[in-house]
Structure 1
Amino acid sequence: MSEIHPLLKTEQYRFIDQSTLGPEFSALQSFAMDDALCMSVGQGTSPTTARLWVHHNTVVLGIPDARLPYIAESVEYLKTQGYQVIVRNSGGLGVVLDEGVLNLSLIFPDSKTVNIHEGYDAMVAFVRYLFKDYTDRIEAYEITQSYCPGTYDLSIDGKKFAGISQRRVKNGSAVQVYLDITGNGSARGRIMRDFYKIGKRDEMTRFHYPDIDPEVMASLNELLDTDLTVSKVRDMMLMTLHEWSGDISMQQLDGAEIEWFHKRFEQMIERNKKALESL
């Protein structure tokens, strides 16, 4: 890739690494973080921001998932498999997160003037550039039998290793990607396949839930026959952003961002209570 996507061209990046916070770091906090950063980036008090995060043994559901006919039984199944469950505030369906899955949020300004597809395209370009020394075969199209299928699924030879979603708040947009770096992608797929089998059974539903084939999912290590780690990819991301801008700020949440975070965190807690109140 010779040209950098225009959204990725900025004089300074802010880099927030939360990939090592451990199991106590809740995915509810994570999504509240992105909302707070959207607000500060959107109003120009923060530069374009890259935030990294890892959540241990967590299944993040989409709002439609919470409407499955037998959602209580399917959530109980996930819990018996050792997963905690939350409902996110961005688009898409359920995904499996664990210590082998690195998540990246790129928070851009000017969401009211930038087409939503530009944010997705920028993330696709970033991931392709990031792994350019490993492969030139990363494609972006829907892997229909994966979990959380979407137009911007990232795959190699038809096997999905990443999915992208986007959340817009005020004048900022958080484009979020999960990257299966290590571990067994098919095993993650089996977890979500069984979740939908238990939650839907043979009921007719207005919403179309995916018919998951675990074999269409894999980690990058499985696909590339390499020994990448979450920490190594984290370093690759940092070096790439520094290469592009030459100016990296490591500033954590500050001032009004802290207030916004706490407000959004409370909203996430309430949203989850309502979405899963029948369980």
Structure 2
Amino acid sequence: MDLKETAMWRLIDQTTPNPSFRAIDSFAYDDTLCESVGKNGSPPILRGWVHLPTVVLGIQDARLPNIVEAIRYIHDQNTDVVVRNSGGLAVALDSAVLNVSMIMKEAKKSSISTGYDTMVALLHKALQTRHIDFEVGEIKGSYCPGSYDLSINGRKFAGISQRRIRGAVAVQVYLCISGSGSARARFIQDIYKKAANGKPLASIPNLQPEVMGSLEELTGQKLTVTSLMSLLADVLHENGASLAYESLSESEHDRFVYYKKRLVTRNESISQHLI
């Protein structure tokens, strides 16, 4: 999708940390909004979301031999834990990590890379206003590595994934805005060590905490979740889009309840310790 082709974007801002707003809610939100967009019930959506300390595990992580002990360790650090419903491996979230979901109708002839490239274009335009440039490509040694890792001078500050459902695609990025990227990576490294029970496993990434950073660390600029969300909204507006700040409609809320129940059931079926 070309950002200039869309006349209206719906913005949902959930960037104020709230103990009652968990990552499991965010994944249910994105499934709900994908359904709305896919059925032409909503224009494309940009949703910003932030959570208190949380580890989001991938499905592959949840199958590690000593995962229950790892989950106990996470809880001991006063950190929530949830298994996502999309691909990828473990990531660490907290109040200085901005997550952004870009939810768009899936075009019939679009490739898998289309959604990724649209998100990269949005982030590039937003950060360019602060004279920040970045590279795209896998950073080996990072947590949740992928082809759409975003980095500066070889240190990763963000990663992009996507989920396709109900005729729409949710492109999701986590951006480490401030704080220590390497400290977050060491936390994930400790979790993997406990989950593997001391055994070398091919399914566990060989983490090198020093390759992770935050935008503030890597640029020396003072950045916040709020300021970056404003930059993203400005880019959409400057590309000709009208912005509608809206929450869920009544019908969407009903679907949110449905999708959240599915996620809760799925997490409980993996381990009673996850909820």
TM-score with structure 2 setting the length = 0.95
3-state SS of the aligned residue for 1:252? coil
* Runs (5+) with no aligned partner, structure 2: none
Seen in structure 2, the aligned counterparts of structure 1 residues 159 and 135 have a Cα distance that, compared at 3 Å, is: farther
Native 8 Å contact 2:122 2:232 kept in 1: no
| 1:90 equivalent in alignment to 2:86 | yes
Q: Percent identity?
A: 46
Instruction: State how 1:1-279 maps to structure 2 within 5 Å.
Output: 6=2, 9-110=5-106, 112-135=108-131, 137-203=133-199, 205=201, 208-277=203-272
Alpha-carbon deviations, 1:95-136, whole Å to 9, x = none?
Answer: 000000011000010255421111111111111111013345
8 Å CA contact retained: 2:57, 2:91: yes
Q: CA offsets per residue over residues 70-110 of structure 1, 9 Å max, x none?
A: 10111111112221100011110110000000110000102
SS at structure 2 position matched to 1:15: strand
Contact 1:184 1:219 in 2 (8 A): yes
What SS does structure 2 have at the residue aligned with 1:266? Answer: helix
SS at match of 1:106: strand
1:203 Cα deviation (Å)? 3.1
How many residues are paired up? 274
Give the match's secondary structure for 1:22: coil
Q: Deviation per CA, 1:201-239: give whole Å up to 9, x if none.
A: 34354x521111110000000000011111111111121
Q: Taking structure 1 as the reference length, what is the TM-score of the superposition?
A: 0.93
CA gap of 1:154–1:217, structure 2 versus 1, over 3 A, is same
Deviation string, structure 1 residues 16-69 (Cα, Å, up to 9, x no partner)? 001115222111111100001001111111001000000110011110000111
RMSD: 1.6
C-alpha distance in structure 1 between counterparts of 2:271 and 2:207, whole Å: 23
Shift in Å at residue 141 of structure 1?
0.7
Report the CA distance shift for 1:230/1:203 in structure 2 as closer, same or farther (over 3 A). same
Q: Which amino acid aligns with 2:250?
A: G
